[in-house]
Amino acid sequence: MNRTEFFVALWNQYIQVTPQADSIHALFNERGEDVINDHVAFRTFDIKGFDLDRATELLATIGYEAFDSYTFPDKHLRAKAYRVPDDSNAPKIFFSELIRSELGEEAQAIINKVTRGLEGELTLSDLTGRYPFHKPTFDEYQSLANASEYAGWLSTMGYQANHFTVNVNALQTLESVEEVIELLLEHQYQLNEVGGRIKGTPADLLVQASTIADQMTFEFSDGAVSDIPSCFYEFAHRFNESNGQLFQGFVPNNANAIFESTDRR
């Protein structure tokens, strides 16, 4: 799978569970916009063969190199940012992992149960949509999500793009995240309000917003059926660093709030 095929497969899987992304994309297209993807994000557990180290190896096979790393202490996460050094048009990748040892015993036991028998290593094709876990019961899911919304999400959604991101700099008819938000609100899309609709300022070099994740029906291992959060769409406007280069990294404070786009409602 080359880089182009990877992103086509990712998008096709993503819009299956995130119909709002497809319709927002169409809304931009109707305005004559050619939507450019700033980045996609993935989530995983810190399990050997499925962790950030494995992600780094996998992403290298399609030209990506890690260029920054981040920690999110209150969410028990660490993350790395990846880009293609010789192709500034390639979407960046933000890959995070849950640090299991920072969770309580009960949550760790549920993760152990959900991931038991996980064999081999994560593959590129897994990232385009695979659920390799054992489904939790509804009670296990609630308990796990109470300890970590991220873990609850991952235990039900498995591997796929958690979000795509519209590159606001590349839009012709909208000049800012504020204008994008105005358009989305006119069309009744729900936005992540954590810390305010707009995350970051031009001084942070990255201004972002995101929708609230779509919902999908999930059947738990005990037969319980409930709606769960799937994935969301993000919007990113980047600003120049003091050296005149467009900032390519991520801002932990923004990302910390954006993670909550998949919290249960």
Verify binding: residue 38, Ni ion, rule CB under 5 A.
no
Shorter beta-carbon distance to Ni ion: residue 214 or 234: 234
Query: How many C-beta atoms surround the C-beta of residue 41 within 10 A?
Result: 23
Contact 210, 192 (CB under 8 A): yes
Which residues 122-181 are close enough to bind Ni ion by CB under 5 A?
none
User: CA-CA distance, 232 to 234, in Å (whole number)?
Assistant: 7
Which residues 223-262 are close enough to bind Ni ion by CB under 5 A?
234
What spatial distance separates the first Cα and last Cα of the chain, rounded to whole Å?
36
Which residues 79-118 are close enough to bind Ni ion by CB under 5 A?
none
Provide, rounded to whole angstroms, the least separation between the CB of residue 92 and Ni ion.
9
User: CA-CA distance, 132 to 119, in Å (whole number)?
Assistant: 9
Q: Among the candidate windows 39-47, 54-62, 107-115, 220-228, which touches Ni ion by CB under 5 A?
A: 39-47
Provide, rounded to whole angstroms, the least separation between the CB of residue 163 and Ni ion.
6
Q: What are the distances in angstroms from CA 115 to CA 70, 97, 192?
A: 25, 14, 30
Q: Which helix (H) or strand (E) holds 228?
A: strand 225-229
User: CA-CA distance, 261 to 13, in Å (whole number)?
Assistant: 19
Provide, rounded to whole angstroms, the least separation between the CB of residue 259 and Ni ion.
9
Q: Among the candidate windows 35-43, 71-79, 106-114, 196-204, which touches Ni ion by CB under 5 A?
A: 35-43
Shorter beta-carbon distance to Ni ion: residue 54 or 163: 163
Q: Among the candidate windows 16-24, 33-41, 137-145, 176-184, which touches Ni ion by CB under 5 A?
A: 33-41
Provide, rounded to whole angstroms, the least separation between the CB of residue 48 and Ni ion.
26
- Could you give the residue ranges of the DSSP H alpha helices within the chain? 3-17, 19-30, 52-60, 105-114, 124-127, 138-147, 149-157, 177-186, 252-258
Provide, rounded to whole angstroms, the least separation between the CB of residue 262 and Ni ion.
12
Interface residues with Ni ion (CB under 5 A) are 41, 234
